[in-house]
Chain A
Amino acid sequence: MDKKPYVAPALFRNGSVNAATHGAACPNEVLDASFSADTPRGSLTCSTRADFFS
């Protein structure tokens, strides 16, 4: 059996899953405005969609 090329085993720390999915639990909310690239996720603001209650 051919062996696969070796690389040093590594563990990557990706951070908190809560932070990574921040905002995903509010599907009925929309962003308030256009945010530029590199806007920190925590700085995004949301509103409830106007047509959500109609």
Chain B
Amino acid sequence: MVVSISPYAPASLWGRYFSAHYLLWQSKRDDVLKMTNTVFKKADGVVASDLGEEWALLDLESSMYFTLNTVAVEVWKSLEEQPSDIDVLVDAVVQKFDVTSDQCRDDVNSLLADLTEAGLIVAVTDKTNA
């Protein structure tokens, strides 16, 4: 369903319009992450460079560049080795850093959402497609 709104609508209506779209976007983003069989893989056309503790990522299509902090680098390394689900990625972090899987799961989830939104990784719902 497409909902249009007049440009002359009062500000309060515009506020509700944008809030509804934000909530819809957020729920879609969360839905992807909650899929238990979601596997993430590195997007095509993304190159990584080791800068020491941090890594730089360059999206060759958009020419946008990003950096990952030291913990995010471990997640990225795992994704470079093979498409992985959230459990594998959390394990990779837990093995290297002083944190439990329960403590870092939400953080890894949030990182995956950011990487997906930036187009650096793609979510594959069926593992056979990974």
Chain A residues packing against B (C-beta within 8 Å): 3-18, 20
Residue among B62, B65, B68, B114 having the largest count of chain A Cβ atoms under 10 Å: B65
Residues of chain A contacted by B72 (CB below 8 angstroms): 9-11
Residues of chain A contacted by B114 (CB below 8 angstroms): 11
In the complex, A35 Cα to B115 Cα: how many Å? 37
**How many interface residues does chain B have, given as a range?**
20 to 34
Chain B residues packing against A (C-beta within 8 Å): 58, 62-72, 74-75, 93, 96-99, 103-104, 107-108, 110-111, 114-115, 118, 120
Q: Nearest Cβ in chain A — how far from B24, in angstroms?
A: 23
Q: Residue on B with the closest CB to A11?
A: B114
Contact B66 A6 (CB under 8 A): no
In the complex, A17 Cα to B56 Cα: how many Å? 11
Contact B64 A15 (CB under 8 A): yes
Contact B68 A17 (CB under 8 A): no
Residues of chain B contacted by A3 (CB below 8 angstroms): 96-98
